[in-house]
Amino acid sequence: MNETIALLLNHRSIRKFTDQTLTPEQVEMIVAAAQSASTSSNVQAYSVIAVMKDDLKKELARLSGDQAYVHSCPVFLVWCADLSRLKKAAQTHRPGEETYEGSMENLIVATVDTALAAQNAAVAAESLGLGIVYIGGIRNHIAEASSLLGLPELVYPLFGMCVGYPDQQPDLRPRLPQEAVLHWNRYDASTADTQVERYDEIMSAYLRERTGGAKDTPWSVLMADKLAQPSRMHMGQFLRERGFGRQ
């Protein structure tokens, strides 16, 4: 155990922030940490938009499912997978040639690059005493959000991130038993059911404690219910329209 691992193990999502603002220098430091993340072939296929204007945060909160903390946080970072720079490089140095910036593989690369950078930023923010929460709801109305932020072709908002000084200390949410996710040398499905049953018991107890007995639905039931509902079925068409995944 060391200070870095302790910080990582203490992560929790923060949805309530104080009125204390962040300086541009703090935001720049967090993004500098993000830029030091690993990136496939050095493509650095992401961009981040730091939203601090109150009216813009309010509109993004509405588009993200009326999540009030998107509006109340001092800085809302929108993490975007960005292949537009690669397309420009190809047009400049390979004029007239067929290039594959919009391929499915490059969509995966850009999405992974963005997530790696954002997680670096999350850890950096928490090391400064700040709190964060990821906002996948930015994809609820992704075309409207993209237009609001002025995103060009081959750029899409993967998720948002509220950043600010915490005004709450929620309990740590239990994770799956490590035996469910760590495999040695080959994937081992033999204990999957047992590990899920263990986690169902853990999460039911956690929910009972957190809600004063009002909820205790097992994790596997929650996941089954989630998968039984269509979610953001517009994403495939949107990405193709924006130039992604065409090859």
Q: Which helix (H) or strand (E) holds 49?
A: strand 46-51
Q: Note whether 16 and 33 are same-domain residues.
A: yes
* Mean pLDDT, residues 49-58: 98
Beta pairing, strands 75-82 & 155-164: antiparallel
Closest residue by Cα to residue 46 from 108, 96, 137: 108
Q: Note whether 52 and 152 are same-domain residues.
A: yes
Task: Specify the amino acid at residue 127.
Answer: S
Q: Which helix (H) or strand (E) holds 33?
A: helix 24-35
| pLDDT computed for residue 245 by the predictor | 86
Q: Note whether 20 and 82 are same-domain residues.
A: yes
Read off the pLDDT band of 213 (50, 70, 90).
very high
Q: Note whether 54 and 95 are same-domain residues.
A: yes
Q: Note whether 187 and 166 are same-domain residues.
A: no
Closest residue by Cα to residue 27 from 110, 112, 132: 132
Residue 247 lies inside a defined structural domain of this protein: no
Q: Note whether 166 and 233 are same-domain residues.
A: no
Residue 232 lies inside a defined structural domain of this protein: yes
pLDDT per position as a tens digit, 142-199: 999 999 999 999 999 999 999 999 999 999 999 999 999 999 999 999 998 999 999 9
- Report the CATH number that the domain containing residue 134 is assigned in CATH: 3.40.109.10
Q: Note whether 26 and 76 are same-domain residues.
A: yes
How far, in Å, CA of 105 to CA of 86, rounded? Answer: 13
Instruction: Write down which residue in 122, 144, 170 finishes a domain.
Output: 170
Closest residue by Cα to residue 111 from 80, 152, 153, 143: 80
Q: Note whether 48 and 124 are same-domain residues.
A: yes
Residue 246 lies inside a defined structural domain of this protein: no
For tokens 């962040």, the residue is 22
C-alpha 14 chain-centroid distance: 14
By the 10 Å C-beta count (0-12 exposed, 13-18 middle, 19+ buried), 80 is classed as: buried
* Mean pLDDT, residues 111-125: 98
Q: Which domain holds residue 54?
A: 3-170
- Does the pLDDT of residue 246 top 80, yes or no? no
Task: Specify the amino acid at residue 67.
Answer: Q
Instruction: Write down which residue in 170, 204, 229 finishes a domain.
Output: 170
Helix axes 192-211, 219-227, angle to 10 degrees: 100
How far, in Å, CA of 213 to CA of 23, rounded? Answer: 41
Read off the pLDDT band of 247 (50, 70, 90).
confident
pLDDT per position as a tens digit, 62-106: 999 999 999 999 999 999 999 999 999 999 999 999 999 999 999
How far, in Å, CA of 52 to CA of 41, rounded? Answer: 32
Q: Note whether 185 and 112 are same-domain residues.
A: no
Number of independent structural domains in the chain: 2
Instruction: Write down which residue in 170, 198, 213 finishes a domain.
Output: 170
